[in-house]
Each structure stands twice: as C-alpha cells, then as structure tokens.
Amino acid sequence: MSIAAVKEPEAVAKEPGSAPNWVYLFDALPDLETQVKPTSWDEVRALLGGKGANLAEMTRLDVPVPPGFTVTTRACNAYLAHDRQFPPGMWEQEVAAMRELETRTGKIFGDPDNPLMVSCRSGAKFSMPGMMDTVLNIGLNDQTAQGLIALTGNPRFVYDAYRRLVQMFGAVVLGVPDEPFEQIIAEVKQERGVTQDIDLNAEEWMRITERFKGLIKSYRNKEFPQDPWKQLELATRAVFDSWFGKRATDYRNATAIPHDLGTAVNIQTVVFGNMGEGSGTGVAFTRNPVDGTNVLYGDYLINAQGEDVVAGIRNTLPISHLRQDMPVIYDEFIAICDKLEAHFHDMQDVEFTIEQGKLWMLQTRNGKRTARAAIKIAVDMAKEGLIDEKTALKRVTPEQVEMLLHPQFSESVKKEARAAERQLVSKAVNASPGAAVGQAVFDADTAEKWAKEGKSVIMVRPETKPDDVHGMIAARGILTSRGGATSHAAVVARQFGTPAVCGADILQINVEQKLFVVQQENREVEVHEGDWLSIDGGTGEVYLGQLETREPDFESEVELKTLLTWADKTRTLGVWANADYPKDAERARRYGAEGVGLCRTEHMFFETERLPIVQEMIMATSKARRLAALEALLPMQRKDFEGIFRAMSGLPVIIRLLDPPLHEFLPAHDQLVQELADLKVRLQHFHTLSEIDTALSEVRRKEDVLHRVRALSEANPMLGLRGDRLGIIMPEITEMQVRAILEAAINVKRSGLEVHPEIMIPLAGHVNELKVLKQLVENVSNEVFTEAGTTIAVKYGTMIEVPRAALTADEMATEAEFFSFGTNDLTQTTFGISRDDAEGRFLIEYAEKGILPDNPFHTIDRDGVGKLIEMSVRLGRSTRPDMSMGICGEHGGDPASIGFCHEVGLNYVSCSPFRVPIARLAAAQAAMK
C-alpha cells in the first residue's frame, strides 16, 4: 500500500493528500499508483534506491523482512535543492509510516513499556557499499532502555544496543570522530583484561554508554537527544547529507555514478542479533565473489549486530559453520538464497540477522565481485539457463577483462622469496585477487598523495572504514589485520579490482607510528612507512620487498575464452592489433586478433645492431652512401616482415612506412654538446700520439654528428620533415621499405602460407602526396614482381591524422584503398596541443575541473575529433563505397572509443595485443546497444 493510504496522526497532519508521495512502505511496490508511476524496474530502483526496491521485492516474495518503509530519492534531491529543508509533507508521511509500523509490530515508538526501534540506512540506485551513513537502534533512550530490560531480562543486550546508537549517532549525525568512542571501549577492555567486545558485561556497557554521552557533550556542547522523534529526524537528515559526503563523492567519481541521483532513506524495524547465543548476524554471497564458484560464501557472528561483521571489528566465522551452530536456520537461509538468486538472475549479496532463533533478511543486492568471479558467474549462469549469452556479455565490463589479465606472481618467484630476505611474513584471507607491489602507507590521505606523485602504494590498516575510500582507490593493494571476506576492505577492493589481503592478525599495526610488527620464531620484523611490500590477493600471502610479476596465462582462462567466443558472434566491428615484432603478432593472434592494423617500422630501427646502420644512413652526405646503408638494412627489415606475415598467415597486415623525423635516431643535441666538451677536456691530459689521434678522431666524429643533428633540427619536428614528406624528399628510404615488405611477402607465400600485405602512408594531408608515393610503390612493386617471377595482391592506403586529410577524404579516397585513423596525431593536430606537454601541464586539471569531459588522448573527443572521423567515413565512402576503415591509435583499446567506432561504421579497431580481449568484449557490447 502507499503511504497516501495511511491515516496521518492529527498532531502532524497538514492538508492530507496534498503532498507528493515521498514515502512508501515495503509492501507498496505493486501499488506505485499515485503521482509517480515507474514503468520499469530501473525506474523503481531510481525512486526507491536499490536497497529499498529490493526490500520491497523481497517482501512481495514472502521472504521474512522486518517491516519498514522508504523515503524516496526524490525527497533527498528536493531536500538538497532547498537549503537542506524537508520537502512539504515528507516528514508528516514519515511519521504516518512510523504509526503504521507500530500497528504492524504491536510496539510503540518511544514507549518505555513496549518500545519500537528502527534503523535508518541509505540506499542509492547503484550500490555504494559503506559510502553513506547508517544509524541503528533509533528509539532507545534512558527510559526505553529500562523498559527493554524489563521486557527481555537482558541488560547486557540492551546497553550493547544503546551504546551502538549513541556511538553511531554521535559519529554520523553530530560529527564526533569515531576514534574517541573506540578508545573508550579499548580502555574498558584493558581494565577487564579482555580482548573481545563480547566479553564485556552489562555494567561495563552501561558505563561505556554514559561515557559516550559525555563525549558528545564535550565535543558538541549538546546532549544526546532523548526524544526518539528527534533522533529519527536528525538521522534522516544525516543520511540525506551523506550523499555529498567526501567518501560518497569520491566513490561516485571513481565508478562513474552520476551525482544527481540522490539517496533514499530506509527506515526498518530493528531485529537484534546481539540477544544471546540464539542470535547472530552475517553477510553472505550466493556464489563466491572471489573466484565465482557456485558455493555460498560469507561470514557471520553469534551475539552481534551487523556492523560488527562489515566493519571488521571482530574476526568472523565462515558461513558454512552456521550449519553446525543452527542447522534449521541454515537450511532456511540456503532456500532463501536460492530463491533470491533465481528471482534476480544474478549473484546476490545478502545481509541477515537471527533474533532468538528467527531468521530475518535485511538486504539483498547484486553482489560486488572480482573480475574472475564476474566472468565465471556470467558464463556459468548462461550455461545453467538463468540468463542468455547476450545478458552474460552485458554482465562483464571491459575493465574486468583487463583486471583479469593483470600481472601475477609466479610460484617460482614466491618460492624464492620465502627462502630469501623478502620472505613470506603472513598468510591471511585472500579477499581480492591479483598481485600488488608497493610502498607501505598507513593512512588514506598519504596513499592518495603518494599515488598522485606516481608512487605505487600498499595501504595498511587495522581495518578500513568508508572514510578511507579515497586512499583505497589510489592504492595498488590493501592489507588489513582485521576483518574477513565480507569486510569493508574486501568488498571495496573487489569492486575496484584491487588486490587485498584481510584479517592478517599476526600484524601488530601502529597507525600513529606508521609501522607494523610481525613476531616470528627467531626474530621480530618491522615494516615502516615507505618500505616495500608484495601482496598476493589470490592466496592471501604477504611478502617483504618487491617481487617480480609475470603475464597471466590467457590460454588457461577457460571462462574468459568462452565469453569472448560469444562476443565474437555478436560484434560486427573487427578487432586487430598493433604489432611491431613477430612475438607481438603471435600474442595478438592468441588473444583473438583478426589482423595487424599497425606495424610501426621505425621501432625495428632502434634495435642495438641496427641503430648504427640507421645513423650511418642519416649521416650520409651522398646518395651512394645512403643507399649502401639502406642495402644493409634491407635484409633485416625483410626478416622482420617475414616473421609477422608467418604469425598472421591468412590475415591482413598493415605496415606503416617510416614516420618519425630522422633526428630521433641520433643522439640528443645537448647530450652531444656535453660529450664533446668532456672529450676536449680529457684530450688535454693525453700524452701519447696514439691516444691523441684516437681522441681527435672521436671529436671529429661527434662534431659531424652534432652538425647533422643541427642540420636536421626543426622548430616543431612533429609537424616537420616526417612521414610521407620524408618519403618524398628521400624516396630511397621508402623504396627500401616497400621492397622489404614485398620480398618478405613473396618468400612467405612460397612457403605455402597465405599473406595479405597492406602498405600505409603516414601523415598525408594532400592527395598529391599520395599520388607521388603511390607511383613509387607501384614502380618498386613491378621491379620486385619481375625479379621474383610472381605477384601478390597489395593494398595501398593512408593514415588520416591531420584535419586536412579528413576534410578532403573524398579526394584522398581516389588514391587510397583504405583509411586508418591515427587518432593520437589527429587529436594533437585538431586541438593544436602537444600530448607530451599537455598531459604533464594542464590536461589532467582540465578533466578534473570539467573543462573537458575526458582526456581526449584516452577517449575520443566525439564533438571535435569524432566529427572529423565521421566526416572522413562519409566522404571516403562517397568515392569508394566498400572502403575499409579502422583506427590504430591508443583509442583502439578504449571501450568508450570502440563504441564510437561502431556507431560511425568503421570496419575494425586496432589496439595493443594485451587489449585485444578487452576490445572484443567492448565491440560486442557496442553492437548490443
């Protein structure tokens, strides 16, 4: 039913029915019939938040859910938009909903004889675990605490619940730091000589509660409110306010969640897991969120409330132990988990409380999971018939594929580390897989600061809290001494694909002194801030020092290969790879590449045995000397191309002719000047004629090189003599490269393999440049084919990487058979900025301030560069309708840019071999949109 149907109390009613529906009971979901009429489950989630929508849905499914209601996200947004004032009618509806809860539970809010207690929890459309605020046990005060003691005969339970309210209210609503509360508890435990909260008795919890009240008074100069309605009002405000808290904002920035959604507030009757040995609380996943196996995974505690589990304050018990502790409850819980997973068609993350032998479900949501788990769960569910293949493809993000292919530690490296000084110091909960190497830091601010400075950090904490999220996002890895597989640290780490080891209780962490100590049999190990650590989130191992990592074994990733096979059936966009060497091409093909979209020939020139020959070619003062050097390079280039053609047999290989300016192959100007100065100084100390002659010869050689460097220097070399311009001015370089390509292709063809070479001209801006070089290519081709007595098909094309080429693409297409968009240079020339300078000086700040929506070198600038690409496609195909087009810049591996390429009708994207699996999935997802 909707709250509009609930009679509001006379004392608070203001024009009944005149206000919008701001509040819905959990059983109102089927009747959202007033001014708000969601037409889809997505709209229900947007209105009620994920938590509220799922609580309503569980209620509808007859799952045991404590009664409650949801204050909508629209109420939150109205509150935030109007100077943090409740919208008209909202509070009255909240009061009316509380009266309905009283009717349903038979308890009265604020009544000492039979008190009703509620929790106040956030819940946005998209899950943001721990990022916003919660207040439990609202309704307890000095009077209701005494009444509850009289009802239950359990003062320890009552004061444990009361101190939680005072502590959470103080921290969440009044802004008192959490540490002083924890310090009071620690002092009382030390006085008693105990280590666990569960060991404290009623009298001690009562004293702690009073000290907590005094703490609030000293920090805020106000009393803890005894009025339950004031508690509820202030808690509701605090949850609304937490939408723009720092940790929530940081989390949304990191996960691309919009800032305008707002959070709902869920008010729910409290059930208590801390009422003795017949009570408990826990968090569980219907499948393993670490590796995706189809087994129940989670933690629980006897005689505790839910925050104890997720906060990592106490080390928990595995959920499987519940079978022994409470077998009937366990069987009921398993049945509910199966029901929820089947209903939502996804792995569920559930929270539950057992109150004196009665099971209650407090929450369900789609569970956060590691990359490996996401892929396995999606594939398994498709095979089980819960979802179809296309849904499975939508369930996995390209970023998760990338995470799965992150480096790992090899067993041999770890074995060596155990025997060396970088030995294994701990083995704990493998909370989030992956290998991480970094310097130890002990607070979130330092982690964020060091990461911005380019340092790799491992954040070490006793346990993490939501306020640590900015440091957790920045860290390469997370290590805690407390908490389990469902603790805050574990859940957030899995969300971001960050390796994490939790519950390493052998670590004695001192946050103030920024160190931890490990007591071992024969020594004490200290790790200070800045010391290097290596953690393996897949095994839970922690090592001292820096361990080397290795590439993952793609062939062993069975579920990923299955998923990508489904992606290949769905996508229309080809996925090629950038490969400069045969080993790159072999890897690309293993990863599923359908061709080489960019082979950069200049990279081959930088190899040690070739660079002197390249420099000799550049230094040549006559064409004859230059040709002699090129003749020496020819067999080397031919061998390179043969290796790539063999690796990509049957698939196209696009080879870009020499692109960079020649001075890049020579020593730097300032370096040469310094070397000459040093040599001339040393020359004064030589005494023998032999030493002097040798030194003078070296001086003359370096002076010749310096003279050539100065002759080749340009004010703006990236817009100077390079690419097709170099090929026209020094045609013998182009002739050598074309000959090497064609001779290699013929040799590979004669070995029985299929070859498809394509020659690409870089940096062309005018069709006449293409005409000149095309004639050169044809001349060399005729010579090679005559000499070989055979021919092969060769395609001739160009890169589009300057705006003029894009604007005249119809003309360019009269000579070029294909276009490949060099989006790195096209972005530079469109924006008029140098990437190397811009990224270090202002681009990051531009993105942070919203001046640019994204770094245009990471994601294609749709409104500028994108329009040029779209225009080129249209104009090029107006001349040559079947023209093949793709991109070969770094954007070829960016999922958002891949989506754009699909939209504008490109044939393929070409990216790093390591990003080929990512591109295959992104292309399939683009096809499904």
DSSP string, 86-154: PPTTHHHHHHHHHHHHHHHHT-EET-SSSEE-EEEEEEESS--TTSS-EEEEET--HHHHHHHHHHHS-
Residues known to be catalytic: 488, 888
Query: pLDDT at position 8, please?
Result: 35
Residue 33, both tokens:
């019939």
Is the confidence at residue 914, as pLDDT, over 90? no
Query: pLDDT at position 30, please?
Result: 42
Residue 653, both tokens:
């290989």
Residue 255, both tokens:
């996960």
Give, as one character, the DSSP assignment of residue 561: H
User: How far is it, in rounded angstroms, from Cα 17 to Cα 7?
Assistant: 10
212 neighbors 137 (Cβ within 8 angstroms): no
Q: What are the percentages of helix, strand and coil residues in the chain, rounded to 5?
A: 50, 15, 30
Residue 222, both tokens:
């106000």
Query: pLDDT at position 599, please?
Result: 95
User: How far is it, in rounded angstroms, from Cα 469 to Cα 250?
Assistant: 7
Query: pLDDT at position 619, please?
Result: 80
651 neighbors 714 (Cβ within 8 angstroms): no
Asked which of 129-133, 387-391, 811-815 is least confident by mean pLDDT, the reply is 129-133
127 neighbors 255 (Cβ within 8 angstroms): no
Query: pLDDT at position 680, please?
Result: 78
* Structure confidence at residue 13 as a pLDDT band (50, 70, 90): very low
Specify the DSSP element, H or E, that contains 477: strand 477-480
Computed over every residue of the chain, the mean pLDDT equals 89
**Overall average pLDDT of the 463-467 stretch:** 80
* Structure confidence at residue 862 as a pLDDT band (50, 70, 90): very high
User: CB under 8 Å to 561, separation ≥6 — which residues?
Assistant: 554, 555
Name the amino acid, one letter, at 507.
Answer: L
Handedness of CA 168, 120, 113, 153 (dihedral sign): negative
Name the amino acid, one letter, at 232.
Answer: L
Is the confidence at residue 18, as pLDDT, over 70? no
Distance of CA 198 to the CA centre of its chain: 38
Asked which of 101-115, 253-267, 835-849, 875-889 is least confident by mean pLDDT, the reply is 835-849
Query: pLDDT at position 29, please?
Result: 63
* Structure confidence at residue 312 as a pLDDT band (50, 70, 90): low
216 neighbors 321 (Cβ within 8 angstroms): no
* Helix axes 90-105 and 228-241, enclosed angle (nearest 10): 120
Closest-CA residue to 430 (of 508, 494, 349, 364): 494
Q: Please give the residue that has the higher pLDDT: either 523 or 53.
A: 53
Distance of CA 274 to the CA centre of its chain: 37
Query: pLDDT at position 497, please?
Result: 76
pLDDT in tens, 562-618: 999 999 999 999 999 999 889 899 999 999 999 999 998 887 887 778 888 988 888
Residue 733, both tokens:
């370089």
User: CB under 8 Å to 265, separation ≥6 — which residues?
Assistant: 70, 71, 75, 76, 120, 121, 122, 123, 236, 239, 240
334 neighbors 304 (Cβ within 8 angstroms): no
> Please, which residues bridge with residue 507 across strands?
518
**Overall average pLDDT of the 430-459 stretch:** 92
Most confident segment among 8-22, 175-189, 754-768? 754-768
User: CB under 8 Å to 2, separation ≥6 — which residues?
Assistant: 21, 24, 25, 28, 31, 32, 33, 34
Specify the DSSP element, H or E, that contains 552: none
Is the confidence at residue 840, as pLDDT, over 70? no
* Structure confidence at residue 850 as a pLDDT band (50, 70, 90): confident
User: How far is it, in rounded angstroms, from Cα 360 to Cα 650?
Assistant: 61
Sort strands 457-461 and 435-441 into parallel, antiparallel or unpaired: parallel
* The total number of residues written for the chain in this structure: 929
Distance of CA 815 to the CA centre of its chain: 43
Query: pLDDT at position 907, please?
Result: 98
Distances (CA, A) of 843 to 450, 835, 852, 867, 894: 20, 9, 8, 21, 18
Sort strands 524-528 and 515-519 into parallel, antiparallel or unpaired: antiparallel
Q: Taking the CB of residue 619, how many other CB atoms lie within 10 A of it? A: 18
pLDDT in tens, 736-781: 999 999 999 999 999 999 999 999 999 999 999 999 999 999 999 9
Residue 340, both tokens:
């929820």
User: CB under 8 Å to 705, separation ≥6 — which residues?
Assistant: 615, 619, 666, 667, 672
635 CB-contact burial (10 Å; exposed 0-12 / middle 13-18 / buried 19+) = exposed
Of all residues in the chain, the percent with pLDDT exceeding 70 is 95
120 neighbors 239 (Cβ within 8 angstroms): yes
User: CB under 8 Å to 655, separation ≥6 — which residues?
Assistant: 599, 601, 641, 737, 741, 757, 758, 759, 760
Query: pLDDT at position 530, please?
Result: 95
**Overall average pLDDT of the 91-111 stretch:** 96
User: How far is it, in rounded angstroms, from Cα 236 to Cα 221?
Assistant: 22
User: How far is it, in rounded angstroms, from Cα 310 to Cα 400?
Assistant: 24
Specify the DSSP element, H or E, that contains 440: strand 435-441
514-548 exposure pattern, b = at least 16 Cβ within 10 A, e = fewer = bbbebeeeeeeeebebeebbbbbbbbbbbbbeebe
User: How far is it, in rounded angstroms, from Cα 281 to Cα 319?
Assistant: 10
* Structure confidence at residue 249 as a pLDDT band (50, 70, 90): very high
* Structure confidence at residue 526 as a pLDDT band (50, 70, 90): very high
User: How far is it, in rounded angstroms, from Cα 64 to Cα 533?
Assistant: 46
Sort strands 524-528 and 118-124 into parallel, antiparallel or unpaired: unpaired
858 CB-contact burial (10 Å; exposed 0-12 / middle 13-18 / buried 19+) = middle
CA dihedral 808→810→814→815, nearest 10 degrees, is 40
Q: What angle do CA 230, 235, 237 make, to 5 degrees?
A: 100
Residue 464, both tokens:
């993490």
User: CB under 8 Å to 547, separation ≥6 — which residues?
Assistant: 409, 413, 414, 417, 422, 435, 437, 534
User: How far is it, in rounded angstroms, from Cα 48 to Cα 55?
Assistant: 10
Distances (CA, A) of 881 to 818, 819, 886: 11, 12, 15
Scan for tokens 């191309």, then name that residue. 641
User: How far is it, in rounded angstroms, from Cα 880 to Cα 502?
Assistant: 60
User: CB under 8 Å to 760, separation ≥6 — which residues?
Assistant: 598, 654, 655, 656, 657, 797, 798, 799, 818, 820
User: How far is it, in rounded angstroms, from Cα 763 to Cα 801?
Assistant: 6
Q: What are phi and psi of 121, to 5 degrees?
A: -130, 150
**Overall average pLDDT of the 298-304 stretch:** 89
- Give me the half-sphere count of Cα atoms (radius 13 Å) on the Cβ side of residue 593: 31
Residue 57, both tokens:
């849905």
Specify the DSSP element, H or E, that contains 81: helix 73-81
Q: What angle do CA 381, 384, 388 make, to 5 degrees?
A: 60
Is the confidence at residue 460, as pLDDT, over 70? yes
Q: 399 by DSSP, 3-state: which?
A: helix
Scan for tokens 């049957």, then name that residue. 650
Asked which of 19-33, 66-80, 344-358, 443-457 is least confident by mean pLDDT, the reply is 19-33
> Strands, E, within 621-682: which ranges?
652-656
Give, as one character, the DSSP assignment of residue 692: H
pTM value?
0.79
